[in-house]
Structure 1
Amino acid sequence: MSVLPPPLSRSTIVTALRSAGCVFAEDEAELILSTAASPAEAAAMVGRRAEGLPLEHVLGWAGFHGLRVAVDPGVFVPRRRSEFLVDQAAATLGDVWHGAGSGTARTPVVVDLCCGSGALGAALARVLGRVELHACDVEPAAVRCARRNLDGVGQVHEGDLFAALPAGLRGRIDVLLANVPYVPTGDVALLPAEARDHEPLVALDGGDDGLDVMRRVVAAAPGWLAPGGSLLMETSERQAESALATVRGGGLDARTATSDELWATVVIGTRPR
């Protein structure tokens, strides 16, 4: 690990980051200086960033949907485009939040599947204000990280997809967030080194066409969703039609939502009432 020589200044950090190929060196320097507890820690952080670690792993946190979410080394870094997934989930909960027209509000049941750091569940809980939240991931490092982020907010379970969830959630889930891996296996090598080398492969690789995990989720989701409950998954624009067909094939009413600003595509499947 390289360490910057004294004196440590903002300009010194910016120069070091630029030399390492960081496009937004000025912004990253500000984040490092505001996070580090000492000049020595700042220098060490710059060294790790120059070695290619994701900025979020260097800082120990990521900004997401107005939150500062802890992100440990080896844990998938939440992308800003996934804020659109959270917004769409909140929008689908309108009827549930208002008692589905009955005049009796109730607490929505939300599951964050493949939760990684737990960023999506944490953000949605913040938006809703009241929620029964469960999150799960197969990666132990992600589970440890999510438990920190969701402490006092929701329960985090370790295991493979629905096998990790309490059986009592069957037929009760109002919103099922599933930010499944959707990168085709052949494209993983084309990802930026920050993701390819420092994030878990299980959080990136979606199989030959990128939809393998999505198919598994869709096959089981109808049995876990409440009547009128929705499954929301992020996908790429080029996969959207195949993802829609997959969701419809699982017996759910399907549609897509897109954000040009965030370059985000979300496929939404709703269990008929």
Structure 2
Amino acid sequence: MAEGKIIKALSGFYYVLSEGKVFQCRGRGVFRKQKITPLVGDYVVFQATGESEGYILEICERKNSLIRPPIANVEQAILVFSAVEPDFSPKLLDRFLVLVESKQIAPIIVVNKIDLMDSQTKQSIEQYVRDYQRIGYDVIETSTVTKEGIERLLSYLEGRISVVAGQSGVGKSSLLNALRPDLQLKTNDISTHLGRGKHTTRHVELLEIGGGLVADTPGFSALELDDIEIEELPLYFPEFRERSDECKFRGCLHVAEPKCAVREAVEAGEIPSYRYENYLSFVEEMKERKPRYER
């Protein structure tokens, strides 16, 4: 038996990297019966049946896993947003941040396409950058045209398993090509008719970039918060979490409770109002979802 890591999943095959060699493997039938799906990033035990083929026998315990994109054992998430085309969306960014915070994955925020900004957009983006940096997030501004920020982003990748995620059209593939030009990943421009990017990546694959492994993932524009309980949500807003002890009531949801330190901080301008409004919209979304019943 041998051990390795799944670096690509495509058409029912799992490509396992083991001691510098890649084996094309299938999963055991027992996985289907147990409703277990091997994921890119999984550490697995497999049996080689030839020079480069084999069967996956066992999936080792995961540190974490994501559903969209389907990947396991991620250490950090490179969340790519464009300054324009499509416009920067703090609400979508906050949704991404909540998801990765809930999985104990370190987020890196990348604001791409800064070369396309006009003066008004630049002023707005710079304010967002300052806001998120003040919260404690690492924020990198990049351009695949001028190469600004590329070297800085590269330094974050060494020795880590990272996932690159973001909605379609923000330039994820272009960014990966800039980080490692020989990849020549397919890219597409924004669809002017639809107003959103065309999907260019069809499967998840771990790529060797900057001394680490990076997952290029299919683009998507929606993230469900179904796995997060409403009581947990404040924990995934760092600026809320650090003020929670100052609230009058333990377990404060920061919605309508008296003497809430978070709401006081919003009123004082210490927490951006849009962050709090996004939080409230997530709370309402969670209240309206159907209850989950244990089987």
Q: Same fold judged by TM-score > 0.5?
A: no
Scaled by the length of structure 2, the TM-score of the pair is 0.29
Scaled by the length of structure 1, the TM-score of the pair is 0.31
Higher helix share: 1
Higher strand share: 2
